[in-house]
Structure 1
Amino acid sequence: MTVHDTTADLSAFIHDWQEWHTRQEAELAAPHGFLAITGLHWLGEEPQRLPDAPGAWSTGADGVVVILDDGEELVVDGAPVRGEHRFGVLPERGGVNAVWGDAVIEVAKRGGHDIVRPRHPDNPLRTAFTGTPAYAPHPRWTVTGRYTAFDEPRPTTVGAAVEGLEHVYDAPGRVEFELDGRPQALTAFPGRSPGSLLVLFTDATSGVTTYAANRALVLPPPAADGTVVLDFNRAANLPCAYTDLATCPLPPAENRLSVAIEAGEKIPRERGGS
């Protein structure tokens, strides 16, 4: 008997999934979450004023600079700034959130480019959000795989939701598993928390019932013997599934699975999903 064979176990499984799904939606639709983004501005050496943020913005060898007009103010790291403020050189995939009234001005580096992405709580994409469609959770989509670390992390270049942009990740290893008796493998990237892994993938449902470009699955740290659980019920959309103002990475070519994974989040209603 497996862990999900009893009614009580199945009920707990579904309850845990529902809590996860609720957290996903809450993070997405938070006052300054991805649905609040009103613009994606690429900075250059020439200062530019933006329609949804104060000041004139530019970047160069010394990093991002904003020049605020009289009466304009940002709050950076809890301190108000006026006039000229230098954010400095930002790390790749890093950034700073500056507060402007009830908005947050995200200053970040993506794919080697400095960007400004204002986030306004009253953005219609956020205020009209009614949740993300998803497959009903089922234990059959929870499988145990085996993680094999590479001898050393492999720099892996992938495309992005924004045409012409590229992301580079140091892939630490790959995960092998079976679905319906068919062997599968996914290259893994480092996750947010220590030891965790992130896999980006597409499958036979992509562009049909699930978002065409990518979905993401967070894996817990593998056990000492390399075993790791893949719960595809928690396959999640990235922000680019909802807005064109995201720079999300695409899966590496080897992560395009031929099997149909009818689990996890579906095409958002914002993209015509139901």
Structure 2
Amino acid sequence: MTETDISADTFVDDWNTWHALRDNTFREPLGWLSLTALHWLVDAYSTFPDLPGAWRADPDIVVITAELSDDLSVDGAAVDGSATITPVEGAPGIIVKHGPRLIEVIRRTGNVALRIHDSSAPALAQFSGIPTFTPRPEWVVEGVFTAFPQVRTVTTGAVVPGLEHHHDARGKISFEHDGTAYELIAFAGRDEGFHVLFTDATSGVSTYPAVRSLHVSTPTPGGGVVLDFNRASNLPCAFTDYATCPVAPAENRLPFAVDSGEKTPEGPTGRALI
């Protein structure tokens, strides 16, 4: 493994800042830990004990039927009779307000679901931070990105059986560990960088079994990139049963232990092995 030239003090300070931001993300009052339910809709009206109104999913739209006293609103307009919304496949959900709660309407693999966000959710109140391995500079690894001639679509499964995720694969990142060469498929990421979904020999032991995520910054002109496994992150599905996250592609299942980055969340917020 090739270690980059890092100041020890800067390395730890930067990692602590990153880790604090990660913890704060999951402390958001209506974020992932506020989820209390995931209800799948069908083409006939359904009602749910924790929601007012009746809900139906057609091929392209969702129809809500409710009375004014049900206190449902879409884009600031109260639902009094019926309202129609159009969730987009794979996109962030459309929000329906119910008093202080949010109902997120999502479309995944052609199916539509309602996710309920409640700032008084037990998981949010019980959250005490994300457990991690101790950060170590030796897990900051140099690699080389090689672009595919054209973007490929890579399909993976999801933590919810029957769902699929379709990713824009931009190329491969090659690197070495203990003298052996490995490759990871890199998907399109933020800030013109990449998003790597992977598992390793710690998956299902000390880390979440289905996937961890790694952000990789934009490569240098020669294709150089840095894989900082100290920042290997859990996806929301590690914290809640109401997420629909992808699993790692078969090509990104590393045979060695990456004992670095985030571990499986502890206590009530930790999702069971799948």
Give the CA deviation at 1:39: 0.8
TM-score of the superposition, structure 2-length normalised? 0.91
2:122 to 124, 133, 142: 124
Mapped pair 1:216 → 2:218: no
Q: Within 5 Å, which residues of 2 pair with 1:226-237?
A: 226-237=223-234
5+ long unaligned stretches in structure 2? none
2:84 partner SS: strand
1:51 partner SS: coil
Cα deviation, 1:212-269, whole Å, max 9, x if unaligned, reads 1111111112222211111100001111112221111001101000111110001110
Give the CA deviation at 1:52: 2.9
2:132 partner SS: coil
Q: Within 5 Å, which residues of 2 pair with 1:198-209?
A: 198-209=195-206
Report the residue type matching 2:255 in the other structure: S
1:199 partner SS: strand
The alpha-carbon distance between structure 1 residues 37 and 2, as it changes in their structure 2 partners (threshold 3 A), is closer
What CA RMSD, in Å, does the superposition of the two structures yield over aligned residues? 1.9
Give the CA deviation at 1:76: 3.1
The alpha-carbon distance between structure 1 residues 150 and 44, as it changes in their structure 2 partners (threshold 3 A), is same
Q: Tell me if structure 1 keeps the 8 A contact 2:212–2:235.
A: yes
Question: What residue number does 1:151 align with?
Answer: 149
Give the CA deviation at 1:133: 0.9
Give the CA deviation at 1:38: 0.8
Question: What residue number does 1:35 align with?
Answer: 33
Question: What residue number does 2:192 align with?
Answer: 195
Paired with 1:151 and 1:161, the residues of 2 have a C-alpha distance of: 31
5+ long unaligned stretches in structure 1? none
Cα deviation, 1:125-149, whole Å, max 9, x if unaligned, reads 1111111110111111111211111
Q: Within 5 Å, which residues of 2 pair with 1:152-171?
A: 152-171=150-169
The alpha-carbon distance between structure 1 residues 78 and 10, as it changes in their structure 2 partners (threshold 3 A), is farther
Question: What residue number does 2:241 align with?
Answer: 244
TM-score of the superposition, structure 1-length normalised? 0.91
Question: What residue number does 1:180 align with?
Answer: 178
Question: What residue number does 1:110 align with?
Answer: 108
Report the residue type matching 2:197 in the other structure: L
Paired with 2:75 and 2:147, the residues of 1 have a C-alpha distance of: 38
Question: What residue number does 1:95 align with?
Answer: 93
Q: Tell me if structure 1 keeps the 8 A contact 2:191–2:217.
A: no
Paired with 2:159 and 2:59, the residues of 1 have a C-alpha distance of: 26
Q: Tell me if structure 2 keeps the 8 A contact 1:142–1:233.
A: yes
Paired with 1:243 and 1:151, the residues of 2 have a C-alpha distance of: 38
Paired with 1:118 and 1:217, the residues of 2 have a C-alpha distance of: 28
Q: Tell me whether 128-137 or 163-172 shows the greater mean CA deviation.
A: 163-172
Paired with 1:231 and 1:78, the residues of 2 have a C-alpha distance of: 43
Between the two proteins, the alignment pairs up a number of residues equal to 268
